[in-house]
Amino acid sequence: MKPHDNRAWLLLLPAMTIMLLVGVVPLVSVFNYSFHDIFTLQDLHWLGLDWYREIVRSERFHGSLARSTLFSALVLSIQLPLGIAIALMLTHAPRWRTPVLMLLALPLVVPWNMIPIMWLNLISKQGLLGQAFLAMDAPIDARFNTLHTWIVLLAMDTWHWLGLVVILSFAGLSGIPQDYYRAAAVDGASRIAVFRHIQLPKISSVLSIAILLRFVDSFMIYTEAFRINAGGPHRATTFLTLDLGEEINSFTYGAAAARSMVYFLLVITVAWSFRTIMDRRKGALEGINT
């Protein structure tokens, strides 16, 4: 049990000072702007909840919210199983560990504005993949074909972030003591049983971080999605952040601030309920063990 000592707060001071400056103060400002109509920053008009009402009732918002939710759901259902499967394979194949982890980390160090450029070049008619598909008589059309645009976005996002899921899952798996596996072998447990009853519960906390990071970053995808097709064709890939980008570019700051707050609340609500569920499950497991 850790000793209770409130002097520990002193150790948090440097971190808290930075977070106050770059996090709390800006967030409070956005909150304040969201109740105003803003012409210039010296010329604010109190509006109350008008912006919020307008946003929450608009069909545009509902459409973008549905598309972003679908995108996040697809991203998670592709990247999590795939990432966990690769991490499991690495535990059985020691000699591939370093090369595969290095390989999968590569896309993580590519600047985000270059990722869509790399993919657009790859699928263009002169690109390696574009030519291959052209040769198979199935040209990729990420400009006017909705399905193709979605597939390109999902492939690109998986390419970009699979490494993070694998690195975190593998870190979780390698923290499991060998005794657990020996005990399972004595019991004659199958691979599936080992995964279900030892590995999955043991990596659940690290996975929850991976899920949260992947959820937020896909739900709020901007740079990559915008470059591929600017939200088209016919708004089919207009996600929540693309709406916000439009508002900021047209200088309607009050509305943009209100929209920012709505997104912020959405993300925090999901994070908070997710954490509550995880805590409750953890509590239940500990209850069984003691």
Partner 1 sequence: MNTPAKAGQRQGSALFHGLVVAALALFILLPFAQSLIMSFTSTMPRDGIPEGSYSFINFISIAVTPDLRESVLNSTFYVLLNVTLCLVAGLPAAYAYSRYSFTGDRHVFFLLLVFRLTPPVVLSLPIFILFSKFGLVNSPVGIALVHCLFNVPIAIWVLESFISAVPRELDETAFLDGYSLPGFFFRHLIPVIAPGIGVTAFFCFIFSWVEVVFARILTVTAGKPITMAMNALLGIRPDFGLVAAMNIIALLPGLGMIYFVRNHLARGFVIRT
Q: Which of 47, 55, 84, 100 binds partner 1 (CB under 8 A)?
A: 100
Phi, psi (5° rounding) for residue 37? -95, 125
Q: Which of 33, 150, 161, 239 binds partner 1 (CB under 8 A)?
A: 33
Q: Which is nearer to partner 1, 5 or 187 (CB)?
A: 5
Segment interacting with partner 1, rule: CB under 8 A, options 46-54, 85-93, 133-141, 231-239 = 85-93
Angle between helices 253-289 and 204-219 (to 10 degrees): 170
Q: Which is nearer to partner 1, 32 or 58 (CB)?
A: 32
Residues 141-170 that bind partner 1 (CB under 8 A): 159, 167-168, 170
Taking the C-alpha atoms of residue 16 and residue 283, their distance in angstroms, rounded to an integer, is 29
Site membership for partner 1, residue 225 (CB under 8 A):
no
Site membership for partner 1, residue 19 (CB under 8 A):
yes
Q: Which is nearer to partner 1, 91 or 145 (CB)?
A: 91
Taking the C-alpha atoms of residue 74 and residue 154, their distance in angstroms, rounded to an integer, is 8
Q: Which of 77, 205, 250, 273 binds partner 1 (CB under 8 A)?
A: 205
Closest CA to 217 of 133, 268, 157: 157
Site membership for partner 1, residue 41 (CB under 8 A):
yes
- The conformational region for residue 235 under phi > 0 = left, psi -120 to 50 = alpha, else beta, is left
**In sequence order, what DSSP letters do the residues of 107-165 get, joined into one string?**
GGGS-TTHHHHHHHHHHSTTSHHHHHHHHTT----TTT-HHHHHHHHHHHHHHHHHHHH
Q: Which is nearer to partner 1, 6 or 234 (CB)?
A: 6
Segment interacting with partner 1, rule: CB under 8 A, options 53-61, 106-114, 144-152, 178-186 = 106-114
